[in-house]
Amino acid sequence: TLGAVSSMPAPGCFYDPATDRFWQFGGKTNPALVDEIDPQSWTVTPHTVTGDSYSFATDYNGTFSRFVFMPQYRAIGFVPTTSSPAYVMRLP
């Protein structure tokens, strides 16, 4: 349901026209998940993020649009804090 994703504070969210899906990630609630949202049924499918762990700065409470969707790689590039390295997350 949309309840869990709609209550996440300060996530990154974008639309992927190639798959007709919305994607949501980050925020303060659970940075280890990326949510796939079907805009036809509004079904939410959570996917666990693998690889290096990261966390967004709690004082900034989320992504604040510090990310870019790279459709040619089916990936998200982002910087979780002002003092951390950049990360790349591949979508399922």
Distance CA 73, CA 42 (A): 25
Tell which residue, 27, 30, 2, 14, has the closest CA to residue 91. Answer: 14
Is 73 in contact with 31 (CB distance < 8 Å)? no
pLDDT digits (tens, 9 = 90+) for 25-81: 876 666 678 889 999 998 999 888 887 777 766 655 667 667 899 999 999 988 877
What global pTM score does this model have? 0.79
